[in-house]
Amino acid sequence: MKGSKIVPIAENREAKAKYEILERLEAGIVLEGSEVKALRNKVNVSFKDSFVRIEEGEAWLHNLYIAPYRYASIKPPDPLRKRKLLLHKREILRLYGKVQEKGLTLIPTRLYFKNGKVKVEIALVKGKKLHDRRQELKERAMKRELEREFKGKLKL
């Protein structure tokens, strides 16, 4: 969409390390007023152990921690409550079919404001094996070493 303003709130950095991301999808999220105010005030958001589960034809986000809004006049909602995701029925059915495959799961990767609305980016992922992560770390270290060598030669 032309002119859509995206303001980042939080990112799940651990997802790139632990999972191989196969597909990304944007979804709306149902929040209470004090949760939106808390997000606008840049409170603590944690993706630790959060995941998306499809239950009875609806997508639900579990274990996403949003710190309570400090100035809420009524009792703030549970910071770890499950929150409904707003997706089209055909998207939910397609994702449900893919999640039934062996080893695939849905996790949230980003939380952001888009045109004043809170959106969550969810990803269809496959878990990385320990040796895959080690290989990735080795490749990154080798790339860093090469860049250092080239920098040293350019300064001469």
Instruction: Write b or e for each residue in 10-24: b if 16 or more Cβ atoms lie within 10 A of its Cβ, otherwise e.
Output: bbbeebeeebeeeee
Q: Is 1's pLDDT higher than 60? A: no
Residues 148 and 156: their CA atoms lie apart, in Å, by 13
Under DSSP, the state recorded for 76 is: P
Q: Residue 63 carries which side chain, given as an amino acid letter? A: N
Instruction: Encode pLDDT of 105-148 as tens digits.
Output: 999 999 999 998 999 999 999 988 777 778 888 888 888 888 88
- Give the start-to-end residue ranges of the domains of the chain: 6-128
75 or 67, greater pLDDT: 67
Under DSSP, the state recorded for 69 is: P
CATH class of the domain defined by 6-128 = mainly beta
Instruction: Encode pLDDT of 40-66 as tens digits.
Output: 988 889 999 999 999 999 999 999 999
Main-chain phi, psi angles of 3, to 5 degrees = 80, 10
- Mean pLDDT, range 86-106, rounded to an integer: 91
Q: Is 34's pLDDT higher than 90? A: no
Instruction: Encode pLDDT of 70-92 as tens digits.
Output: 887 777 788 889 999 999 999 99
1 or 90, greater pLDDT: 90
Q: For position 87, what pLDDT does the model report? A: 95
Q: Is 154's pLDDT higher than 70? A: no
CB 19 within 8 A of CB 104: no
Whole-model pTM over 0.95: no
